[in-house]
Structure 1
Amino acid sequence: MSLVLPTEDWPEADWAMWTALRAQGGPLDDRGALAHLRATSLKTLRIRYGRWLGWLSRTEPDALSLSPTERADLPRLEAWLEDLAHTAPMTRLMFVEGVIRVLSAAAPDADWVMHRRLRGALKRDAGRGDPARKRGRIVSTKVLLEAGLRHAGPHADAAATPLEAMKRRRDGTMIALLALMPMRRRSFCELTLGQSVLLMEDEIIISLSEEMTKTGVAWEAPVPPQVEPVLRRYIEDVRPYLMARGNQDHARLWVGKKGEVIGQNHLGSRISDLTLQLTGKRIPPHFFRDAAATTLARLSPDAARLIRPVLGHAGFQTAERHYIHAKTIEAGRDYAALVKSLKGRKS
């Protein structure tokens, strides 16, 4: 039996609640409280809430006849947490936080004080996750940059076939670009020529719209000069070669060996495998962000101040969010200028 109750099996009250929360609204209808979320965020919340309903259906099916808010009392949530004791603290936090977020959005006037205290306790218990997961796997930006440039240059030149050479130039370009412009995997995969990748005579601009970032904050910066030549070569030579092999016609930046769009999972595995091969450490795309933060922090206290807006981290307070919104593009350009100084520095 699946741990997540499929939406078609949800109680009618829960499905009606979920539908109302996602409603886009209209001239005469209110917009749902979660309608502003992206599809990926809604899917995550749906799975977490479905996990809660799945547990109830197995352990206390009679509770499904209660209203969604009534059945989510503290004793039941604490009993659920006991059943989740085999999972990591961060996992328990994410499940309970998802349920509380859905229900508090549906019933904002209900008393959620004790639920939020429970969430706070789980946050303290979870801390920042399992540090062992990243221990020894965060290398400097310079190491990643040099590995990418080597793969796109000398390694590609030594390839046995033209196709292998093109694939190495593509892969090395991806690693080098991520090293200096760390972005989330989804945003990286969705880069599109003419929209988020602007090719100009003297520079290439990466421009992420609000829809392409997790925080809903636009981000823009020129591609640093260390990477610009290999990215331009990929766009002008490598990508057309691969596109022609599959007779493809689309504008996505990263393509497979027959010009097909590269999916997030494939890209993540590819980057992880290549970094293991090139650096001796398996580094998935999201660890490039940690590498950038670590590198900035080591450069100087002033450089460390760029970490938050460069990585697109937004706080919970509205004032902080607006501050980041105003500073993000400026910080992206400052970061692009700062990484120029990495050339020649020791890692």
Structure 2
Amino acid sequence: MNSHLDMLARCRMAEPAQAVPGVRELSAHLQERLAVVGDVAYAEFAYLQKVAAETWGAARTSHFVIVLRKARVVPKAAKVSRWKMANAGIDRLPAEWRTALRAIAEHSEKKVLSSGPIWSADYLGAVTTALCRYVDYARCHSAALVPAGSDLHQYALWLTDPGNKGNGVSIRAAADYLSRIKAGLAIILPTAISPARNFVVRYWREKAVAGGTPTKSGDQLVGAVAIYDLGFRKMAKARDLPMRGIEAATLFRNGLVLSMGIALPQRARAISALTFGTTVWVEQPDRLHVRIPAAQLKMREARKSGDPFDIHWHNPRLVAALEEYRLHFRPLFDDGTCLFPSVQAPGQSLGEKRLGQLTSEITEKELGVRIPIHRFRDNVATDSAEHLTGGRLTTAALLDHMDIGTGDHYDRSTGAKAAAEYGGFLDERRTAPAELTL
């Protein structure tokens, strides 16, 4: 007797009006098959869902994938906290440097304002990483462990040389490394002030500003509407798949990342913190409420115990998509509530780095250019400044900027509008359009 074949036959012969096998029955069936044939049972069960979907439809058989994932996907270890990672970086530094940085870590984590500067775990980690890399360089190149200005300058030249083991980082990255080294030394050796070191750090920072941002390009400005609509096309494709499995759930999730990232143009960390019932709510059929804790926002660490980002806005199309996702697609990942769950790690949210990679991969495939989620803000800022009545004031509100001038880093409206007007001017001047063979 083969219970798998029996279940297949039952699904094939069933009428659409008949009841679909439930979670308890399917779980028992899968466990029985695992005991008999081992891991082959997973493939059998996936095929069983396909057959069942042909009888009862994708929506009514979506719980098959819940049973399969609970049996097949092993929970992953919880992510290491940012503070533990930062302290691990301190442990790699010379022994005489560790005490001062550990003190910074301790009072920063506790937000003790009276004990000195408050650093975020990420910034502390970046500083310790920069110091560790310089220490490795100094030991290999006979440079001073506590660098003079000339040592830092040579280090920056080495970093930006494409022929060395540093792989030729950008001028901006080198400038960031130098700034972090300077910040770390100010804590470790507060009396070892070096005007020459300060000059070198400032020189490379100004050089980076003059050179522009290497990770940003004009072709990434495809328009907020293009990205937003791409997200809804992804969701529609997921809805139309013949089987409601993890592939459909992931496709819907990815579409929601795109559309939500445009509708709520916050940074990747804030987007990764969205959770149903905790940071995002559907309050009415056309109204959303988002409340993101200050700890997940980009601001000075001392302010991260302050007011959250709190906004209500009307968007019936997005509300409908969120509700559909919450009811029919989100449960296929796990029992959690994070808005953008990981496929590989049940119960965990996609991290900010993975969100950036994901949007880059999708937009490169669909739009021909890699657009990380942080660049969504540039697209939103440019479109809003050009087309909305409030112009730059609207940009500041959308991007949650305290200072309207901050939008200079995001708003590319002048260039985009000028290019469009110039293209129209050229078209008007062409009396006899012709293709040139070059």
> What letter is aligned with 2:254?
D
* TM superposition shift of 1:8: 3.8
Hey, what does 1:102 align to over in structure 2? Answer: 184
CA deviations 1:294-328 (Å, max 9, x no partner) are 112222583223434533456xxxxx69x99xxxx
Distance, in Å, in 1 between the alignment partners of 2:250 and 2:108 is: 46
Residue 187 (structure 1) aligned with residue 275 (structure 2): no
> Which among 24, 28, 40 is matched to residue 107 of structure 2?
24
Aligned length: 299
In structure 2, which of residues 326, 330, 345 is the aligned counterpart of residue 239 of structure 1? 330
Cα–Cα, structure 1 residues 166 and 222, in superposed 2: closer, same or farther, change >3 Å?
Answer: same
Work out which of the two has the higher radius of gyration on C-alpha atoms and give 1 or 2: 2
1:219 and 2:309 are equivalent in the alignment: yes
Aligned CA distance change for structure 1 residues 30 and 192 (closer, same or farther; 3 Å)? closer
What is the match of residue 22 of structure 2?
none
Q: Which amino acid aligns with 1:284?
A: P
Gap change, CA 1:313 and 1:72, over 3 Å in 2: farther
Identify the residue that residue 60 of structure 1 maps to in structure 2.
142
Question: After the TM superposition, which residues 67-106 of structure 1 pair with which residues of structure 2 at under 5 Å, given as runs?
Answer: 71-86=146-161, 87-106=169-188
Structure 2: give runs of 5+ residues left out of the alignment.
Answer: 1-87, 162-168, 407-438
Counterpart of 1:169 in structure 2 is: 252
> What is the aligned counterpart of 1:263 among 350, 359, 364?
350
Q: TM-score, normalised by structure 1?
A: 0.74
Q: Distance in 2 between matches of 1:277 and 1:134?
A: 17
Indicate if the aligned counterparts of 1:255 and 1:262 stay in contact, CA closer than 8 A: yes
Distance 1:285 1:25 in 2: 28
TM-score (norm 2): 0.60
Q: Which amino acid aligns with 1:275?
A: T
Q: Partner of 2:32 in structure 1?
A: none
User: How far does residue 108 in structure 1 lie from its aligned partner after superposition?
Assistant: 5.4
Per the alignment, residue 298 of structure 1 pairs with: 386
For 2:116, the aligned partner's letter is A
Q: Does 1:252 align with 2:335?
A: no
CA contact (8 A) 1:151 1:172 kept: yes
CA shift in 2, pair 1:26/1:214, >3 Å? closer
**Structure 1 residue 211 displacement after superposition:** 0.2
The C-alpha deviation readout for 1:223-274, integer Å capped at 9, x for no partner, is 540422211221232212332xxxx3x3322124585424324433332222
Q: What SS does the aligned partner of 2:229 have?
A: helix
Letter of the structure 2 residue corresponding to residue 148 of structure 1: G
What is the one-letter code of the residue matched to 1:16? T
- SS state at 2:310 partner: strand
Q: Tell me which moved more, 173-182 or 214-223.
A: 214-223
* Counterpart amino acid of residue 88 in structure 1: S
Aligned residue number for residue 127 of structure 2: 45
- 8 Å contact 1:181–1:223 — kept in the other structure? no
- 2:290 is matched with 206
Distance of 1:286 and 1:80 partners within structure 2: 29
Identity between Structure 1 and Structure 2 (%): 18
- RMSD of aligned residue pairs (Cα, Å): 3.2
Give 1:133 shift: 4.1
In structure 2, the CA distance between the partners of 1:21 and 1:228, relative to structure 1 (3 Å rule), is same
When residues 131 and 268 of structure 1 are mapped into structure 2, their CA distance, relative to the original with a 3 A threshold, is closer
Task: Quote the Cα distance in structure 1 between the aligned partners of 2:185 and 2:262.
Answer: 40
Q: Following the alignment from structure 1 to structure 2, what is the Cα–Cα distance between the partners of residues 31 and 92?
A: 32
Q: Is the 8 A contact 2:149 2:197 kept in 1?
A: yes
Q: Distance in 1 between matches of 2:240 and 2:109?
A: 59
